[in-house]
Amino acid sequence: MLKDDWDDLPERGRDFCSGLGDAHVERMIQDDYIFVSHSLGSRITIDGLQRIAGILPRREEYLQEKQATADTAKVSQKVIEAFRLKRIPIFMLSNQLPLLQLGRELPEVTGQDADYCKPEGRHYNQRTVKETSIIAFSDPNDLLSYGIPPGYQEKYIDSRLCADITNISINVSPVIDVFGMSAVRPGPAHTGYDQDERVVALIAKGIGTPHTSPLVVERCEYTPTID
């Protein structure tokens, strides 16, 4: 994803991921990277990014462990520096981060966001990216997804990812009538995000800015908080 055009990516099966050299820096600078995950995908995405955060500071040692040659797996310092300037949004539909954190080991570096993410921080030049913007969608009628609670970031997300968390609680399951009472089906509450035009508008244009979709302004409430 970081080194090729869309048309160069394999349509199916496996493809060997070679290294990122100085020739890929311009692409890194010009391109934007966005993740849209669903359910378990929220855990997979964060695990992948945290693995990258742990590998980059010790990449030479990692290459030796994997018996990889420098030509096929090396990541140049210029690429790493370009990556540190990126803001990466992750739209987590039916977010499961809190549920799937149970029993897992903690990340290598936690509770040090100020040191890694503020320009005046002592480890600012060792961050992985400038910001990982996590936008977590959950339907209150879905038993398998939850909002990300206060304090979760400091304890469970690697500080080098410089996470910024936004919770969006939204009813995506239609209300149905059951014996004269209003109810919702839990299945669509877990899977119906891509069918909800508000979700699409929130991903495309955000909220709380001049670019916000009129649909979102009319049908959603936005409460900013300051940490």
Predicted confidence at residue 115, as pLDDT, reads 96
Predicted confidence at residue 189, as pLDDT, reads 80
Point out the residues of the chain with pLDDT beneath 70: 13-17, 65-73, 175-186, 225-227
Tell me if residue 133 falls in helix, strand or coil.
strand
Predicted confidence at residue 72, as pLDDT, reads 58
111: Cβ contacts below 8 Å, ≥ 6 apart: 154, 155, 159
Taking only the tens place, the pLDDT of each residue in 149-181 is 888 999 999 999 999 999 998 888 776 555 555
22, 15 contact by CB (below 8 A):
no
Closest by Cα among 9, 35, 122 to 87? 35
Q: What residues does each domain of the chain span? A: 20-195
Instruction: Give the separation between CA 136 and CA 42, rounded to whole angstroms.
Output: 9
87: Cβ contacts below 8 Å, ≥ 6 apart: 129, 130, 131, 132, 133
Instruction: Give the separation between CA 106 and CA 116, rounded to whole angstroms.
Output: 17
| DSSP track, 26-60 | HHHHH----EEEETTHHHHHHHHHHHHHHHGGGHH
Predicted confidence at residue 181, as pLDDT, reads 58
| Per-residue tokens: 8 | 């160069």
CA distances from 185 to 181, 189, 191, 196, 197 (A): 13, 7, 11, 15, 19
Q: Phi and psi dihedrals of 183, rounded to 5?
A: -150, 165
Predicted confidence at residue 66, as pLDDT, reads 64
Answer left, alpha or beta for residue 8, where phi above 0 means left and psi between -120 and 50 means alpha. alpha
Instruction: Give the separation between CA 174 and CA 115, rounded to whole angstroms.
Output: 45
Instruction: Give the separation between CA 86 and CA 81, rounded to whole angstroms.
Output: 9
Instruction: Give the separation between CA 124 and CA 84, rounded to whole angstroms.
Output: 10
Tell me if residue 207 falls in helix, strand or coil.
coil
CB atoms within 10 A of CB 119: 6
Predicted confidence at residue 161, as pLDDT, reads 97
